[in-house]
Amino acid sequence: MRFMSTRMTLILNVFYELFGFISLLFQSRAALVAENIFLRKQLALYEERKVKPHRACNLTRYIMVMLANLFDWKNALVIVQPDTFIKWHRNKGI
């Protein structure tokens, strides 16, 4: 039963992330820029307070690796260290 619950959670997370990505396609450029600035500000506050982030799950790693193919990711890393991200990329997020 636990396996089914984990599998269902994974499937729901994939659909959630996919829906989020598709919804971004319909936002205006200004809205995307504003959201990006908003998220970066939150990350700056998170980093400023020296809060240790939780370990990323395999799905999160995979999604970040796939998204990194769409832009210059090196300047966007705030919490994840570049060496860690490169390792994820080599392992395809797993």
- Listed by start position, the domains of the chain span 2-90
Task: Report residue 71 as tokens.
Answer: 């832009």
Three-class SS state of 62 = helix
The pTM (predicted TM-score) of the whole model is: 0.50
78: closest CA among 54, 30, 33, 45?
A: 45
Q: For 31-62, how does the pLDDT look when each residue is reduced to its tens digit (9 = 90+)? A: 777 777 767 777 777 777 777 777 777 887 88
Distance, in Å, from the CA atom of 52 to the CA atom of 26, rounded to the nearest integer, reads 34
Higher pLDDT, 47 or 14: 14
Per-chain mean pLDDT for the chain: 76
Task: State the DSSP code for 58.
Answer: H
